[in-house]
Amino acid sequence: MYINLLEITIKTWQTLGIVVGIFSGAAILIGVLILLVGKIFKVDVDKKVTAILENLAGANCGGCGCSGCGGFAAKLAEGNGTLSDCHVTSPEKKAEIAKLLGVELNDEEPSVVVVICNGGIENCADKFEYKGNPTCASNNSLLGGNKACYTACLGCGDCKAVCPENAISVTGRLPQVDPDRCVSCGACITTCPKNIIKRIPSNAPVFVACSSECKGKDVVKVCKVGCIACEKCAKNCPHGAIYMKDNLPVIDYKKCTGCLTCVEKCPRHIIISRKITAEETPTKK
């Protein structure tokens, strides 16, 4: 009996040893194969791409149109992109990248993004009740969205979801941008299906919060605050800084002094006064 038990024990350990040996051999073989594959298919990283990437902000916001800074660095190295596509990297770092690329760096005016709509759920009528996936992209895919104004903000917050700086809040289904947080990366701009998030100079005293190009009589049917193209802002601007185009006011920020006459004269209150710092206050001409 003791002899049989000993034989069983020996056979068990032999079997266990064989199993361990097989797994160990397989692990070693896999490790060797990984090393060989890595060596054979090794991709040499372009030193220029690496150098460019080291100088980019590293926000990976997607505002440049690429999936991340790595893609943008490769695009620049290939000569298919421009530094102005990135609004996050500092001017100093952009200057370094320009040297690497052998190109001139154009002076860029600091900017901030604003939402060119003031409708929201209270002011802009709905043409139907939307009950689908709660994103602007999904809403917009259904007959251009549920808003009666075709260019109105859908208010689902896709812009807020992609903002890397948490600079966007949504109140009353209408996004608000915090200029102190916004770095003008452009992630929200590329995400908005209505294309109503725009850049303006960071020192701009006012902006037009409407994007409808419809005639006034059509606007009042669907929105309580949409621009009716009355031209009072343009006619009363003492500096000639406003002109009309496609039934909307256009502000020439080079002429605007921040007198806020347009804000006072607008009967629909769609010209919004912005909070700007003392250093950004426009010089009167």
Q: Give the number of other Cβ atoms within 10 Å of residue 190's Cβ.
A: 16
> What's residue 285's pLDDT?
37
Q: Cβ distance 117 to 174 under 8 Å? A: yes
The alpha carbon torsion through 263, 266, 271, 276 (nearest 10 deg) reads 0
Name residue 124's beta-bridge partners. Answer: 223
For the stretch 171-220, pLDDT in tens is: 888 999 999 999 899 999 999 999 999 999 999 999 999 999 999 999 99
Q: What is the CATH number of domain 111-280?
A: 3.30.70.20
Question: pLDDT at position 65, please?
Answer: 79
Terminal CA-CA length for the chain: 111
Which residue is it, tokens 């150098």? 51
pLDDT of residue 142: 93
Q: Which residues of the chain have pLDDT under 70?
A: 1-13, 16-17, 19-20, 37-45, 107, 275-285
**Would you state the pLDDT for residue 161?**
95
Digit-coded pLDDT (tens) for 69-79: 888 888 888 88
- What topology does CATH give the domain 48-101? 3-methyladenine DNA Glycosylase II; Chain A, domain 3 (1.10.15)
**What pLDDT is attached to residue 279?**
42
What was the pLDDT predicted at 33? 75
**How do the domains of the chain map onto residue ranges?**
48-101, 111-280
Fold match, 48-101 / 111-280: no
